[in-house]
Structure formats: C-alpha cells, structure tokens
Amino acid sequence: MSWTLSTSGAAIYKAGLNANSTATASGAMLAKFSDQAEGVLCAATRKDWVADYATVTANFKPILDDTVSNLIATEIINYDLSGFTSRAEAQTMLDVLRDNTNRNIDILKDDKNKEKMF
C-alpha cells in the first residue's frame, strides 16, 4: 500500500529543511507514515483511493497526493520538533498542513466531487 497516492519526496519537501534527518532518511518510518496516511484518507472519505487509484483521472490525482503528503509531513515534523528554529515555526507549519488537509478531505468527502474524479 505504501506510496500509492504520494511520494516520500513530496512529504519530505513539505516537512521542511529543518525536519529530523532520521525521520526523513528512514524508509521504514516513511513507509509506515505513508500506510497510515493513505488509511486515514480512505477512512475519512469512505472511499478506497488506493485500490481505485488507476481509475482516477489525471487532473484529480494531485489532490490525493497533496492530502497524503500533508499527513505524512505532519508526522515527520511531529517526530522531532527540536530542529526547527522555534516551536512557533514548527507549529505554523503544522497548522498550514492541517488546514490544507482538512480542506482537501472536505472536498474528497463530497460524493458529487467523487463522481467527477473517475
């Protein structure tokens, strides 16, 4: 299941330059975060995006990537906040990721939007 909807590069990019290097270099940790994020997205939207990914049209795949990479980046940042210049910096990044994720999940929950994606 890992990395169906996004890539490790997208998640690491969003976690920022000050993200913990252990977290960003650990394939096992990132794969676990990916599995969890994909599961959260499927559960929250009541749609198995992983199984149906091949049938999603090209213009709608980026919202799935954006949402999952946001969730993974959140876990990377949360793993260790000490590398950030301040707690406020880390918190601002987490807030932006959360807001973007919530907006995307609201869009993906809407059955009218789901109908157009295939």
Report the percentage of the chain scoring pLDDT > 70.
Answer: 99
How is 15-82 classified by DSSP, letter by letter?
H-TTS-HHHHH-HHHHHHHHHHHHHHHHHHHTS-HHHHGGGS-GGGHHHHHHHHHHHHHHHHHHH--T
Cα distance between the two ends of the chain: 20
Predicted confidence at residue 52, as pLDDT, reads 97
Predicted confidence at residue 62, as pLDDT, reads 98
Burial 104-118 (b: 16+ CB within 10 A, else e): bbeebeeeeebeebe
Q: Is the pTM of this model over 0.85?
A: yes
Q: What is the pLDDT of residues 28-71, one digit of tens each?
A: 999 999 999 999 999 999 999 999 999 999 999 999 999 999 99
The sign one gets for the Cα dihedral 103, 98, 23, 50 is negative
Higher pLDDT, 8 or 117: 8
DSSP helix/strand/coil, 110: coil
